[in-house]
Amino acid sequence: MMFSFVIPFLLVLCVCGEETGITKEFVLKNNDFGIRLYKALSKEAKGNLVFSSHTTRLILALVSLGASGQTANQLKSIKTASRVYLAEGLAVDPKFSKIATEYFNSGIENVDFKSSKKTADYINSWVEERTNNKIKNLIDGKRLNEHTRLILVNALYFEGKWKNSFSVKDTKVADFFVSKHESVKIPMMETTEHILVFRNDEMKVTGLMLPYENPKVMFCMFLPDEFDGLPQVEEKAEELWKVRNFTKQYIKLYLPKFRLESTLDMIPALKDIGIENLFSKTDLTGITREPVLVSSVNQKVYVEVNEHGTGANSGTAGDGEKGVLPKPNESVMVLKADHAFGFTILYEGVSLIVGRFAHL
């Protein structure tokens, strides 16, 4: 029998203004999980890469509510909003239903998996509604049949505007180097303002943090010195999370305007970082008494970065609000992201999405 779950995800969650109670321990564990998952995915994924370690961890947390024994020990419970689709006639454990609803804001619904196309369309409609129609056709009806017992879906959407938006009229076509000797033309945004930056000479990388309107959310970019230097930076990714010496400098920044979309099979990477029992000898009797097996963990991620922000809808825009003018005798540092770089979206220090931009 089959237990499959998928994770549609547009970008980031948690953009509200209330206190979240995020602890230092939560930040460290979440980001450590993200780094390990990034390294595992990087073994297979070449070129562009974008995924959400946070939502992967959240959906596994929901599964862990029904896990017992060693399976439960390999997963940690945290909170999110999800939806559980159960096969018709399948009874769910009342305790799982109560916790999933109260702590994960997860609705539970019985559907007819035998009517594969109709059910796939129904689930896909739910996903589209919650991702502003960005994620379409997530569930392939051909993968549903009379043996399918349970699907978990986590649909998250974030539309974040920059604190200081880029001016559309300053965006120009420019070279982006996909290797030392090969370049392609891409739209390059431009701004000059005070930006938080850091420098690591040993790793030969410069990083910066661009704020969104919500001060708790930041776009963090890691730009290696060399055109082909990103793999070396990724090998020491743990060191980047230890950076605390950001300084505000007057920067002339060139940043690509881009869209990334990834559809990933997460099982090989999850096994690589030690989550194995979930896919072989799973004990999920806390969800339902019927034996089930986790057969797939799929994540579909869509990211758009433009003059307005991240995931923001396109439209006519005037000049963005700029930072203060440079101080007397203050030099302007030029930072041009014209070759492969890494990035992450942070919420109060928690890495919610991680990516690599290497080409259009």
Q: Is-contact 92 288, C-beta < 8 A? A: yes
CA distance 183 to 325: 33
CA distance 49 to 146: 34
Listed range (128-137, 155-164, 233-242) with the worst mean pLDDT = 155-164
Residue 276 DSSP SS3: coil
Mean pLDDT of 157-173: 86
- What is the pLDDT, as a whole number, of residue 154? 67
Structure tokens at 50: 């974008």
**Confidence band for 215, pLDDT divided at 50, 70 and 90:** confident
CA distance 257 to 77: 36
- What is the pLDDT, as a whole number, of residue 274? 86
The dihedrals phi and psi of 20, each to the nearest 5 degrees, come to -105, -20
Above 50 in pLDDT, residue 102? yes
**Confidence band for 118, pLDDT divided at 50, 70 and 90:** very high
Gyration radius of the chain over CA positions: 22
Structure tokens at 221: 């970019």
Q: Which tops the pLDDT comparison, 171 or 154? A: 171
- What is the pLDDT, as a whole number, of residue 331? 86
Mean pLDDT of 26-44: 81
Architecture of domain 2-159+260-303: 2-Layer Sandwich (3.30)
% of residues, the chain, pLDDT over 90: 25
Please name every residue paired with 226 in a beta bridge, in sequence order, or none if there are none.
Answer: none
CATH 2.30.39.10 fits 162-257+318-357, yes or no: yes
Q: If you search the block for the tokens 């920044």, which residue do you land on?
A: 253
**Confidence band for 293, pLDDT divided at 50, 70 and 90:** low
* Burial per residue of 15-40, b for 16 or more beta-carbon CB atoms within 10 angstroms, e otherwise: beeeeeeeeeebbeebbebbbbbbbb
Above 60 in pLDDT, residue 219? yes
Please name every residue paired with 333 in a beta bridge, in sequence order, or none if there are none.
Answer: 251
**Confidence band for 244, pLDDT divided at 50, 70 and 90:** low
CA distance 180 to 119: 48
Fold matches, 2-159+260-303 and 162-257+318-357: no
Q: Which tops the pLDDT comparison, 8 or 344? A: 344
Say if residue 247 is exposed, middle or buried (CB neighbours under 10 Å; 0-12, 13-18, 19+). Answer: exposed
The structural domains of the chain, with segments of one domain joined by +, span 2-159+260-303, 162-257+318-357
**Confidence band for 325, pLDDT divided at 50, 70 and 90:** low
